[in-house]
């Protein structure tokens, strides 16, 4: 495997591309931004979760690392069905990503897993935010 030391930005870009490919026709996707204007909703945000990504280092310079990210769906939610739909949308997107993790050049992706189930994290009239967090685990070389 060629030597490549990805930073979290490289991986965030590939995750964003993978999410956009999944939902591009149905839902706008942004990185680290959610609109406050109800006319621009629903909208999906990909957000990097901070932390030290390196889990284990080896003598040969290779390492196991994690990229943790959240998918946050903001939508107006006037009734119970709309709120249930938001959870279903996030679950389906997360499931699809786990089945087909993004390809990362120069690293070996070991897997992509959900850290939790989609849930409501904020309510601010006139919209509601729902989030699921995921982790990409990969092996790379320095």
Does 1 score more than 80 pLDDT? no
Query: Which pTM value belongs to this model?
Result: 0.89
Average pLDDT taken over every residue of the chain: 88
Each residue's pLDDT tens digit, 121-133: 998 888 899 999 9
Each residue's pLDDT tens digit, 28-72: 999 999 998 989 999 999 999 988 888 899 999 888 999 999 999
What is the rounded distance in angstroms from the CA atom of residue 94 to the CA atom of residue 85?
14
| 122, 128 Cβ separation under 8 angstroms | yes
**Which CATH entry fits the domain spanning 8-141: 3.40.50.10860, 3.30.2000.30, 3.40.640.10, 3.40.710.10?**
3.30.2000.30
Domain ranges in the chain? Answer: 8-141
Each residue's pLDDT tens digit, 93-107: 999 999 999 887 778
Pick from 62-71, 77-86, 105-114 the range whose average pLDDT is largest: 62-71
What is the rounded distance in angstroms from the CA atom of residue 107 to the CA atom of residue 14?
12
pLDDT at 3: 39
């Amino acid at each position: 495997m060629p030597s490549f030391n990805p930073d979290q930005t490289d991986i965030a870009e590939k995750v964003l591309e993978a999410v956009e490919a999944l939902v591009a026709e149905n839902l706008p996707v942004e990185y680290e931004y959610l609109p406050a204007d109800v006319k621009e909703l629903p909208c999906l945000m990909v957000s990097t979760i901070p932390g030290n990504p390196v889990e284990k280092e080896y003598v040969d310079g290779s390492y196991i690392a994690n990229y943790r990210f959240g998918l946050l769906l903001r939508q107006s939610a006037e009734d119970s069905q709309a709120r249930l739909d938001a959870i279903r949308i996030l679950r389906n997107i997360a499931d699809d990503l786990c089945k087909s993790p993004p390809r990362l050049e120069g690293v070996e992706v070991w897997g992509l897993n959900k850290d939790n189930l989609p849930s409501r994290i904020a309510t601010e009239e006139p919209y509601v935010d729902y989030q699921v967090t995921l982790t990409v685990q990969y092996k790379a070389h320095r």
